[in-house]
Amino acid sequence: MTDLQQELTLCQQETDRYRLLAEQSTDLISRHSATPDWVFIDVNPAIEPLLGYRAEEIIGQSGYALFHPEDADNLKNRSDTVRYRDGLYTNVYRYRHKEGHYIWFETTSRTIKDEQGVPVEVICVSRDVTEREKALQATRRLAKVVEASSDMILFCQHKDLMLTYLNESAQRTLSNQQSSSTLRLPQLFQDNQFHDWVIPALNQAAKEGNWHGAITMKLPNESTRVAELREIIAHRDRHDKKHVDYYTLIGRDVTIRKLAEQQYKRHQNEMAHMSRLLSVGEMATELAHEINQPLATILNYSNGTLRQIEEQQIHQVSQTQRAFELISKQAHRAAEIIRRIRRFVQRTDVQYTPFDLNDCCKEVVTFLNQDARDQRIQFVFDLDNTCPMPSGDRVQIEQVLLNLLRNSIEAYSTFPCETPSIHIKTKVQEQCVLISVSDQAGGIRPEMMKKLFDPFTTSKANGLGMGLSISRSLIESHGGQLWAESDGTHSTVFYFKLPLRQTS
């Protein structure tokens, strides 16, 4: 065999190997004419599983005609889906399957030219990237949602807590913070908040996958807005599922909600203040009688002392000492009644401080002693002396107690009873203090029980029907609950409970 024959044999063997590789490849390898129609000259067998055509069906057909109309001129227009490097073009486009639907192809092509540089044909290697493109599209859609979200969305690295991404809402809310490229999570919170709240939240998310709550974020000093961290999602390392790769933090601008809450509280306080004024107005006769008693006593002792002086029955100042002591005592009693009334009706900001609930119960009863005596009603106390002090606004709690006690007194006015009594009880129940006010004044009808706490619901001829509604709002603003139980014919018990705040 001559050298030429050996060379030809080697070339043929090399050609056969390349053809075998092409025929076994799962990628579509095709040759096309270097014309606008991009006619198929040759294809490997991968054409059938990818596009549904047999080789003999597609050879001689226009490849250009199978492009999706929106992608046909990608190469000509050098669209974003086209990349060029070292004489190779890579294009991502939609191509029509034999059955009519489109699949996503990624094709790398090279144009073969003759010795004069004239294009002869185009060789292409194509693969189906439909699943990848669908995933990318889903990612793009998700990115658009994240960017358009009114919530603050931040990505945070696990190890150094560096923030790697802030969506538009987060950037706007944190506009005066330093660049996000150097921003770390601790900078978004007060030091004590970060250590006491954020770190435990991160640990919970790392352990359980997520955390939900509300932690106030630190915004620029000049900012008038309020934002909270509401959710943390932990993303695992895909190579080691036991370790967290990064966190997604979701925050929310709650300025509007906070303003609405403040406005609601202002309205609630105004309603509560108005209700107290109405209560004192309705009790004017009883309160006047309460004040009149010490004043009458003062007058009697004063007149008696003056008469003794005029009749020269007193020869030494010490003889008047007892009278002056009694006068002073009754003056203090009258002043204390006035003080309680003034404190009760005064318009002040809500002040949450620890207070003695048992003392509160006893003080409210002093407002109602005269009215109770007029109806021969006895107050019976069952107060837990070991009861811890709840934290709240004492005046508002007194208002609730006053309203419940007055309701019981008024109920007895239309229900005859030989020994009318109102029982006031306090006790500790789990992490709350439970207060009950009970009577045996005829109960509450079932149809009334259903709407008892609705505004403007009343069984009184001249009542506004706001007392119980306001009382429930005040108790709920303290984090507690107010409810009633009645047998409908004889007894009624009103309960409310206040949470006990744990102190460190």
Residue 211's pLDDT is 93
Q: pLDDT, tens digit, for every residue of 187-213?
A: 899 889 999 999 999 999 988 889 999
Domain-located, residue 5:
no
- The number of domains in the chain is 4
Domain-located, residue 6:
no
Residue 266's pLDDT is 67
Whether pLDDT at 235 is above 50: yes
Least confident of 19-28, 314-323, 379-388, 418-427: 314-323
Residue given tokens 């070292």 in the structure block: 86
Domain match, 297 and 342 both: yes
The arithmetic mean of pLDDT across residues 348-374, rounded, is 81
Share of the chain above pLDDT 90, in %: 29
If 0-12 CB within 10 Å is exposed, 13-18 middle and 19+ buried, where does residue 62 land? middle
Domain match, 60 and 206 both: no
Q: Let me know: does 128 contact 105? Beta carbons within 8 Å.
A: yes
Closest CA to 336 of 366, 359, 300, 361: 366
Domain-located, residue 7:
no
Domain-located, residue 271:
yes
Domain match, 107 and 157 both: no
Residue given tokens 């004040």 in the structure block: 291
More confident of the two residues 125 and 415: 125
The arithmetic mean of pLDDT across residues 52-62, rounded, is 93
Beta bridge pairs of residue 436: 425, 495
| CATH number (domain holding residue 475) | 3.30.565.10
Domain match, 426 and 481 both: yes
Residue 465's pLDDT is 56
Domain match, 356 and 485 both: yes
Domain match, 51 and 151 both: no
Q: What is the rounded CA–CA span in Å between residue 282 and residue 302? A: 32
Q: What is the rounded CA–CA span in Å between residue 504 and residue 492? A: 39
Domain match, 233 and 318 both: no
Q: pLDDT, tens digit, for every residue of 417-456?
A: 888 999 999 999 888 999 999 999 888 888 888 888 776 5
Residue 74's pLDDT is 87
Domain termination residue (choose one: 253, 275, 296): 253
Share of the chain above pLDDT 70, in %: 76
Residue 310's pLDDT is 72
The arithmetic mean of pLDDT across residues 463-492, rounded, is 81
Domain match, 367 and 294 both: no
Q: What is the rounded CA–CA span in Å between residue 432 and residue 429? A: 5
Strands 432-439 and 421-429: antiparallel
More confident of the two residues 400 and 331: 400
If 0-12 CB within 10 Å is exposed, 13-18 middle and 19+ buried, where does residue 141 land? exposed
Residue 180's pLDDT is 53
Domain match, 231 and 311 both: no
Tell me the pLDDT band of 503, cut-offs 50, 70 and 90.
very low
Q: pLDDT, tens digit, for every residue of 363-373?
A: 888 777 777 88
Domain-located, residue 336:
yes
Residue 458's pLDDT is 59
Domain-located, residue 477:
yes
Whether pLDDT at 289 is above 60: no
Q: pLDDT, tens digit, for every residue of 306-347?
A: 777 777 776 666 667 777 777 777 677 677 667 666 666 666
Residue 173's pLDDT is 82
| CATH number (domain holding residue 84) | 3.30.450.20
- Supply the range of the domain harboring residue 55: 18-132
Whether pLDDT at 409 is above 90: no
Q: pLDDT, tens digit, for every residue of 63-92?
A: 999 999 999 888 888 888 888 888 899 999
Domain match, 495 and 391 both: yes
Strand ranges across the sheet with 210-216: 163-166, 152-157, 240-253, 227-237, 210-216
Domain match, 419 and 478 both: yes
More confident of the two residues 84 and 255: 84
User: What average pLDDT does the structure give for the chain?
Assistant: 81
Domain-located, residue 500:
yes
Domain-located, residue 12:
no
Whether pLDDT at 263 is above 50: yes
The arithmetic mean of pLDDT across residues 468-482, rounded, is 84
Least confident of 23-32, 42-51, 172-181: 172-181
Whether pLDDT at 107 is above 90: yes
Reported as half-sphere exposure (CB side, CA atoms, 13 A), residue 349 has a value of 4
Task: Write the DSSP symbol of residue 183.
Answer: -
User: HEC states along 337-376?
Assistant: HHHHHHHHHCCCCCCCEECCHHHHHHHHHHHHHHHHHHCC
CA terminus-to-terminus distance, the chain? 101
Domain termination residue (choose one: 203, 228, 253): 253
Residue 504's pLDDT is 36
Residue 224's pLDDT is 74
Domain termination residue (choose one: 111, 132, 153): 132
Tell me the pLDDT band of 276, cut-offs 50, 70 and 90.
low
Domain match, 29 and 101 both: yes
